[in-house]
Amino acid sequence: MRPLVEPHLTALLPYVPGKPIEETEREYGVTNIAKLASNENCLGTSPLATSAVRAMLDKAHLYPDAGAFALKARIAQFHDVEPKHIVIGNGTNELITLLCRLLLAKGDVLVNAWPSFVCYRMGGRQQGATEVAVPLTADFDYDLDGLAAAINSEVRTKLVFLANPNNPTGRCFTHSELLAFLAKIPNDVVVVIDEAYAEYVNLDDAVDAVAVVKRRPRTVMLRTFSKAYGLGAYRVGYAIGDVEVMDLLDRLRDAFNVSSLAQVAATAALDDVEFVHRSRSHNDAQRPVLAEGLIARGLIVTPSQTNFLMVTLPDDAGIDLPSLNVALLRRALIVRPVANYGLPRSFRVTIGAADENQRLLTALDAVFAEARAGAPAGSP
């Protein structure tokens, strides 16, 4: 018999999401769970988005606008670009997969940093592309010189993903650093700047990706409604890029890839300046509280420009990460171990509501006290 599929497809690994609340309730018999695993907005959903969706619930028999006219027009206004520069995706995730499908064939090279968002790697592997993964620096920053060298040493490089800020580290590069990097990159290489956490960034020299897209045609910016706008369940993200790339990308997507509910939610959310402002202020206030609490308990915290922190257990913590994770799950707290990013002693934690952050710190006190007393791992 002929093989069912090509070997690069049998080698694919599934995406590992944050542990769902319902599964944790079933497995650990707990309620009142604080899910701090997927960088969702702890303030909930944009209220303007929810009202807009309510107003159209009885129109669910109609197919969505395949061209997402109203949403594109609103995004165009928001970023001061023309709608033809925009493609709407079923989450940014879909756009990442489609960019890989569009640009990578077997033998082409995808250049990526590592650890960085795992979906870039997954998209490249689906195409049978070769991935060149350039390690982050010791401080978990992008090694932009290393990336430029990797791109230039491999003529088959077609596509580069830059997560800024990066997931799972929360680190960010500046606009000047990006420009210095791009000056070294051949013009025909497509550079994707994934700004899933852009709304949380506090930097004087923050990247202005739209300005870069306007100057360098083969640059694509990605944004999502899943984080600061609180629309993770709706699945909406968008790409802004040159018309040549965007037109091709748009032809690859399914006609009705984004539901009407998602389209109206996202359109309204862009008007919800108050909600985004509140989300950002909450994050600015709570991120240092959580970081300092974690540091006070002996944990190593990577400085972050996002709504999450990457946290590392020191060698003398007296507990390993899988045991710590189980102990937290038993206390109804879901964080995200990042062993699959090659960081076996680290986890990622979303900045939660003030009481959730405090619950995590209190739980850590109990878990570390038990570890010191030699109690069985995970017992509440």
Ligand X SMILES: Cc1ncc(COP(=O)(O)O)c(C=O)c1O
Distance CA 322, CA 165 (A): 26
Q: Please choose, out of 85-93, 151-159, 334-342, 370-378, the segment that lies near ligand X by the rule CB under 6 A.
A: 85-93
* Cβ-based nearer residue to ligand X, 68 or 363: 68
* Cβ-based nearer residue to ligand X, 226 or 263: 226
Please state the length of the chain.
Answer: 380
Is residue 92 part of the contact set for ligand X (CB under 6 A)? yes
* Cβ-based nearer residue to ligand X, 226 or 325: 226
- CB 253 to ligand X: min, Å: 14
Print burial letters for 342-373: b (CB count within 10 Å at least 16), e (below 16).
ebebbbbbbbbeeebbebbeebbeebbebbee
Tokens of 201: 């960034």
- CB 334 to ligand X: min, Å: 15
From candidates 24, 93, 257, 304, binder to ligand X by CB under 6 A: 93
* Cβ-based nearer residue to ligand X, 91 or 230: 91
Query: Residue 376 contacts by C-beta under 8 Å, 6 or more apart in sequence?
Result: none
Q: Please choose, out of 16-24, 45-53, 89-97, 255-263, the segment that lies near ligand X by the rule CB under 6 A.
A: 89-97
Give the residue closest to ligand X by C-beta. Answer: 91
From candidates 45, 46, 224, 312, binder to ligand X by CB under 6 A: 224
- CB 16 to ligand X: min, Å: 12
Q: Please choose, out of 51-59, 185-193, 224-232, 342-350, the segment that lies near ligand X by the rule CB under 6 A.
A: 224-232
From candidates 42, 72, 91, 124, binder to ligand X by CB under 6 A: 91
- CB 314 to ligand X: min, Å: 26
* Cβ-based nearer residue to ligand X, 331 or 336: 336
Instruction: Give SS3 for 372.
Output: helix
From candidates 151, 196, 210, 265, binder to ligand X by CB under 6 A: 196
Distances (CA, A) of 125 to 12, 13, 100, 155, 170: 7, 9, 9, 19, 24
Distances (CA, A) of 345 to 118, 263, 309, 375, 378: 18, 40, 14, 20, 16
Name the burial class of residue 288, with classes exposed (0-12), middle (13-18) and buried (19+) by CB atoms within 10 angstroms of its CB.
exposed
Residue keyed to tokens 């997507």: 253
From candidates 163, 221, 268, 321, binder to ligand X by CB under 6 A: 163
Q: Please choose, out of 53-61, 90-98, 139-147, 349-357, the segment that lies near ligand X by the rule CB under 6 A.
A: 90-98
The site string for ligand X over 34-63 (x = CB under 6 A, - otherwise) reads -----x------------------------
* Cβ-based nearer residue to ligand X, 194 or 272: 194
**Which of positions 112-131 make contact with ligand X (CB under 6 A)?**
117
- CB 223 to ligand X: min, Å: 8
**Which of positions 256-315 make contact with ligand X (CB under 6 A)?**
none
* Cβ-based nearer residue to ligand X, 45 or 167: 167
Number of residues in contact with ligand X, rule: CB under 6 A?
Answer: 13
Helix H or strand E segment including 337: strand 336-337
Distances (CA, A) of 207 to 16, 35, 240, 254: 29, 30, 14, 31
Distance CA 273, CA 281 (A): 12
Nearest C-alpha neighbor of 115 from the set 271, 300, 330, 343: 343
- CB 106 to ligand X: min, Å: 25
Query: Residue 151 contacts by C-beta under 8 Å, 6 or more apart in sequence?
Result: 111, 157, 160, 184, 185, 186, 189
Distance CA 171, CA 79 (A): 24
Distance CA 30, CA 229 (A): 29
Name the burial class of residue 271, with classes exposed (0-12), middle (13-18) and buried (19+) by CB atoms within 10 angstroms of its CB.
middle
- The contact set with ligand X (CB under 6 A) reads 39, 91-93, 117, 163, 167, 194, 196, 224, 226, 232, 237
